[in-house]
Each structure stands twice: as C-alpha cells, then as structure tokens.
Structure 1
Amino acid sequence: MSQTSLTIRSVRARAVVAPISRPVKNAFGVIEAAPLVLIDVVTDQGVTGHSYIFAYAPLTLKPLVLMIEEIGRDLAGKAIAPFDLMAAMDARFRLLGWQGLVGMAVSGLDMAFWDALGQAAGQPLATLLGGSPRPIRAYDSYGVVDPKADAGDLKRSLDQGFAGIKIKGGDGDAANDERVVKGVRKLIGPDIALMIDFNQSLDPAEAISRIERLAPYDLHWVEEPVAQENLLGHARVREMSPTPIQAGENWWFPRGFAEAIAVGASDFIMPDLMKCGGVTGWLRIAGQAEAASIPMSSHLFAEASAHMLAVTPTAHWLEVLDLARAVLAEPIRIVDGALTARGLGLGLNWDEAAVKKYLV
C-alpha cells in the first residue's frame, strides 16, 4: 500500500491512568501513576495510527480527550499528509496559540499520522524518514532519590547497562542537593553520566549558586534550572555555569526552539514530542540543532523517540521514563544500556485488556 493513499476516517481518544514502576517526585509534587491519552487515527484503508500523550495530571484527561476527538471530526476525509495537516492546524489555532492542551493534542495527532504512514509503507518510522533503527544510548530517569533508600533501584539501572542516571533536585535547600548528588555519585562511580533536573524550581541567582556548589561532582548536565519561559535567565545561568545546561522539554514547537537557540539559552536541547509538534516538529528542530551544532536528546516517549533520534544528526541521549509500559503489548526493552526502535511506524500496539483495566 502506498503511504500517500491514507485517508482519515475517524479519531478515537481514550484516557487511562497507568501504574508506573516507581513514583516520580520532583520539586513540586509526586507522580504516582501516569495519566495518559491513547490516540487512534483510523483510516479508510484499514490502517490505524497509534500514539499517546502524557497528561501530567488526571484533571486534564477529559479536556484532552474531547479536544482530540473534536479536532478529529474536522479531519475526517482528509489525506494523511502530516506537513499539510500541521500547516492547517497552525492556521486554525493561530489566534488561540499552541501552548498547553492544544499543542499537546496537535502533537499527539501528528505522531499518530506518522505511525499510520509507517505501517502503510511496511517500515519503521526511522526507515520511512530515511534512516534506520539503531541502538540509542539511554539514561534512566528518576525523581528525587535518597542515595541509601534507593540504592537497590540505582544499582539495578547500572545492571541494565545504563550509562547515565538522571535525578531531580530542588526538593530542599542547596545542602540537601549536595548530599544527594554526592551520595549518588559515590554509588554509581565516576564513569556513569549523572544529570540533575531542577524542573524550573530556581531563580537565576540561586541556580548559579547551586550549580557552582555541585560542580565537584562532575555533573553531565543541569536541566531546567529556571522557568522555561525565562530564556534570558537560562542564558545568564549558562554563561556562569561550569556545567552544561540542558533544556527544551517545555519549549513549544519549532518557533520556541528557534527563539531559545537565538539567545543561547542552553548547551543541549531535549524536545518533547508531545510539545514540539510531534514528528513533524521534531524534524524541523533537528535541523536547527544541526545548524547550531547543539546535541539533542529526547524527553519521555521512549518508543517514538528511539525512531526520531535515529534520524537526528546531533543525537545525544534518550530518556527512559517508562510511563506507558502497563498498556503496551510490547513494552520497550533496554539492551546494554540502549534502546533500538522497533516495529512498523512507531511500533505502538495497545494491550487492550490492560487498557480496559486502567480506562478512566
């Protein structure tokens, strides 16, 4: 079947709250389970494209489902041509703006479009995009940890071959951050990359101070030290920091990245497929990263991100925070600390019994 022959028949969105292997605590709270919206784009040709988005909080599930299905009704009868559809949705939501739930819905639909195209072509998305699936170096992503209480989990990550560990900071004062970083560094040794994510919890002055205090522990990067929209604040922190600055999971669509890169907001970037415009947005951002020689990593959505990083010229790290495992027929599998894209399209298939169990 030609991948250009697909026509949208209908769009279905379902909300689930899926269990996760360990709670994720950050500076603002704890994620005990994963509120997800599963998206199915059904075509007239019998192919169904799948994707999912992470709703962050259960209260956003219902509006996201309604929005995705409402947009889907307007898409019925249209050909699956993702760049054309993205341009049409950009025009539709220009006055409302991309940020927030609209951007999440549009990005989720875009991922499902590309999944359908890959299935129709009989190819993994990485192959459809001109590359090939290959092992992508991954790091295991934690919330706030205690070096003693969580030692078993951290050692299991190392046993899986992970060459990087990310933990959360900002859940206390600078002394607590140092205690945790020092303890984790001692546990994992000097050869494992250690990253810390502040989740936008600091002001620039405090971020500069804390980063300086943590410098002796050889951090691979400091992530989102200040508010994501404070691009000048990020640039100021970066200028003063002895450690590379990582950001981008909360920058919206390619325009957001263009603005951030222009002011020198970070050393590394990490688009989130759900906020950057899905596959279509990611491809445009990857071009910006290549032009600026900026290493580019992923945020969440490991299954799809493994395909995207395989065709990203400056591919850096893949984040593993396995939010959808409970509802996938074939969850991700880490081999020697790396993840290789698999399956046709994005390689996503639902475990319908699990979906029924966790359906909201």
Structure 2
Amino acid sequence: MSIAAVRLHHLVAPLPEVIGNALVSFDRRESLFVEIVDRQGRSGWGEAWHTPAADRATIAARLAPRLLGQDPQQIGRLWQEMREAAGGAMGAVAAIDMALHDLAARQRGIPVSTLLGGALRHRVAAYASGPFFKPGGHPYREFEREVEGYLRAGFKAIKLRSGFAPADDAAIVNTVRQMMGPDGTLMLDFNQSYAPRAALAAVSAMREAGLLWVEEPTVPGDLQGYRMLSGLMTPALAGGETFTDARAFRPFLEAGCMDVLQPDIAVCGGLTGVGRVAVLAELYDRPVVPHVWGGIVNFQAALHLTATLPAQRSGGAAGGYPFLEFDAGPNPLLDLCGRPTVNGDGTVTVPDGPGFGIDLTADMLSPFVVARQEVTAQ
C-alpha cells in the first residue's frame, strides 16, 4: 500500500485562438499533473496549474523523495510534512494532497467524497464560467452567441467575465439577463480589473439584472476596497481564488465584507487546505464555492468537495449554495476523459467510482506533454 513512485507530467495544450479576461490573455492551457503510484500499481492524480514549472521543480527536489515508502492513507500527517518542506510552494503541496486523496480512496474502493466524510448531494449545481474576451475587436462581440450555447447545454447559472468599461459591462449583463429570463442565476467576475469605485459604477447600472455575486471587484488583498464595496453593493461579494492559506480569508470574514469564499484547490493547499477554509467559513456562516481552473483533475476534486459542503440559501434559482464552477471555454485538459456532462437541470453528477471517478492514463496526456519526470527509490 506504500508509495513507490511520483510521476510529474507538465502539460501544454495550444488553443485555436487567443482568449482571456479583462486582465490577461492566453493562447494555451498549461498545468502540472502529478501521479502518485503505490506498490500495487494504483495511481492517484493531483494538479497544479498556477506555476506548473516551479511546482514541478519543488516536488521533484523537496517533496517526492519524502513521499516514497509512505502510507498514502496518512494524508493529514503528510500534508503537514509537505507544507513544511515546500518553502511556501502551496501549489506543489496542493497537487500532492489531491493525488493522495485520489489514491487513498482508490485503495479503499470508495469515492473521494466518501473519504471526505460523505456526499450531501449526488448532483451539484454548476455554473458556466464564461464567455472569454477575445482580442481584435469588442471583447463582448460573441457573448450572446456563446451564452445561447450554455443555455442549450443545460446550464441554469452563468458567471460572465467583465471589466471592459462600465457602460459596456452593464449593457451585456442586462442583455444576458433577458436571455436567461428571471429564473436563471447570474454572477459577474471583474477579474481584478477595476479599482473599487469603477466596479461600483458598473454594478450600479446592473441593478435590474439581479446578480447573485460580484467576484474580485478589486485586487485580492484589498481589504479596505472590499469593506467599502460591501456597504454599497447589493450583490454578494466573492473572492479569494489567489489565496494560498485559509488564514488569508480571516480578515475579510472578520470585517464582514466577503460573502462567498472561492479558494482554488490547486492553489490553496489541496483538499486538506480548502477543507480548512470550509471550517472557517462555517464558523462565519459563509458559503464556499471553489474556484476551478486548470484541467480535469482540479475539476473532479472540486466536484467531490462541493458534494460534501453544507447547503445555504442563495436567493438564486439554481437551488442555493454550493455551486460548481464549470470552465465553459476551450480546454483540452478538461476534455481528457471526455468533457463532464451537464444534466438537464443544470447539475453535474458526482461519480460513485473509486477516487475521483476518472481513469487517466499517461497515454491520454501524451499529446500535451512537454516534460516528464519520475522519482523512485534508488
């Protein structure tokens, strides 16, 4: 049952066109998939998408050698040891932690949601995260067509990227509200693109849209900005996707100015790290909606975790918190096992197979691998 090898797969998937948000554009999807293998040949998978090259180096040099021969069932102890050894590289810790959860659950023949304490629901309400901005013209020029596609696919909730110019932002939000009708759940993500008062100007022109939340209306650590906006905006304020530790959320909770906590499992120390955020959030009666980026592993980790989170009223038509973020853009790394299916009611079904419920292989990754590395006992 002990760990025999750690394999690192650095993946790059080119996109057919440049896309982005109000802050950054990109022409590829990139991530590090971490595979932990036990002596019986079973694999558990983790992911680090934020700084994949740096995380690969950290895992190879500092973390993987410490894992060899260890019992993957001892996730909590190993998480503490990895955190101490990682030198602040919590993305590397996150990938290891995800893979340990997947492997430990596979060894027991149970889903990760069961390993986390048990699913409270077998279908999770999902929101389409998109559309993306496209350079070379007005960034909202294709939003209506793409939103129509989301609605045909079954989504009942959509989170729009925004932050181009307040008047244009308001125009597209109000248009999408008309397309969704009064029963759809609509959120907005400024992606840190505005100073607080510019964000306020944009949202003030969207009152009729009935937004559930506004995400990153200022830069992540701007406690005073969040505090000011929380007294002036009607929608909930969401954030925290860049935070690497549960403690970073505490000042915002104490100030009462962050309503929806959005840690990313691949950034904030894995399932163990985000589990700490969930405990903190419950103490303040705030929902956790994990930020989801990267590939299929981070998506499945978020799906299993979200299945275990407590329900809370949201005021939205999709049935209340929690929600699963579903990257609706082009993403070959999300499609590795076939793109997850959205049910007719706008939910995604939680797999009941062992681990994360997907069967990744090295061959599936081969078209996108730019570097591979394996650490085994000498």
- Alignment TM-score, normalising by the size of structure 2: 0.84
- For the residue of structure 1 that corresponds to 2:308, the secondary structure is coil
- For 2:55, give the aligned amino acid: L
**Could you tell me how far apart the structure 2 residues matched to 1:183 and 1:91 are?**
49
2:299 pairs, out of 290, 297, 302, with 302
- For the residue of structure 2 that corresponds to 1:345, the secondary structure is coil
Q: Does 1:109 align with 2:106?
A: no
Matched positions, count? 344
Q: Does 1:167 align with 2:193?
A: no
Higher relative contact order (CA 8 A, sep 6+): 2
Deviation at 1:269, TM superposition (A): 1.2
Q: Does 1:28 align with 2:19?
A: no
Find the counterpart in structure 2 of residue 10 from structure 1.
5
2:110 pairs, out of 117, 123, 147, with 123
**Could you tell me how far apart the structure 2 residues matched to 1:189 and 1:153 are?**
16
% identical equivalent positions = 28
Find the counterpart in structure 2 of residue 66 from structure 1.
57
**Residues 152 and 205 (structure 1 numbering): CA distance in 2 closer, same or farther, change over 3 Å?**
closer
**Could you tell me how far apart the structure 2 residues matched to 1:275 and 1:259 are?**
19
**Could you tell me how far apart the structure 2 residues matched to 1:87 and 1:304 are?**
20
**Residues 345 and 259 (structure 1 numbering): CA distance in 2 closer, same or farther, change over 3 Å?**
farther
1:348 pairs, out of 358, 362, 375, with 358
Deviation at 1:321, TM superposition (A): 0.8
Superposition map of 1:1-360 within 5 A: 6-18=1-13, 24-55=19-50, 60-70=51-61, 71-80=63-72, 81-93=74-86, 96=87, 98=88, 102-132=89-119, 134-142=122-130, 143-144=132-133, 149-171=142-164, 173-300=165-292, 301-314=298-311, 315-321=321-327, 323=331, 325=333, 328-336=336-344, 337-342=346-351, 343-360=353-370
**Residues 106 and 305 (structure 1 numbering): CA distance in 2 closer, same or farther, change over 3 Å?**
same
Structure 1 window deviating more from structure 2 (322-331 vs 115-124): it is 322-331
**Could you tell me how far apart the structure 2 residues matched to 1:22 and 1:189 are?**
31
- For 2:358, give the aligned amino acid: L
- Deviations, residues 209-232 of structure 1 (Å, cap 9, x unaligned): 222222222111110111101123
**Could you tell me how far apart the structure 2 residues matched to 1:293 and 1:222 are?**
19
- For 1:38, give the aligned amino acid: F
- For the residue of structure 2 that corresponds to 1:310, the secondary structure is helix
Unaligned runs of 5+ in 1: 1-5
- Alignment TM-score, normalising by the size of structure 1: 0.88
Find the counterpart in structure 2 of residue 3 from structure 1.
none
Deviation at 1:286, TM superposition (A): 1.5
**Residues 225 and 193 (structure 1 numbering): CA distance in 2 closer, same or farther, change over 3 Å?**
same
Question: Residue 93 of structure 2 contacts residue 269 of structure 2 at CA under 8 Å; is this kept in 1?
Answer: yes
**Could you tell me how far apart the structure 2 residues matched to 1:62 and 1:140 are?**
28
Query: Where in structure 1 do 4 or more consecutive aligned residues deviate above 3 Å?
Result: 19-24, 144-148, 322-327, 351-354
Unaligned runs of 5+ in 2: 293-297, 312-320, 371-378
Structure 1 window deviating more from structure 2 (41-50 vs 23-32): it is 23-32
Question: Residue 55 of structure 2 contacts residue 92 of structure 2 at CA under 8 Å; is this kept in 1?
Answer: yes
Question: Residue 47 of structure 2 contacts residue 94 of structure 2 at CA under 8 Å; is this kept in 1?
Answer: no
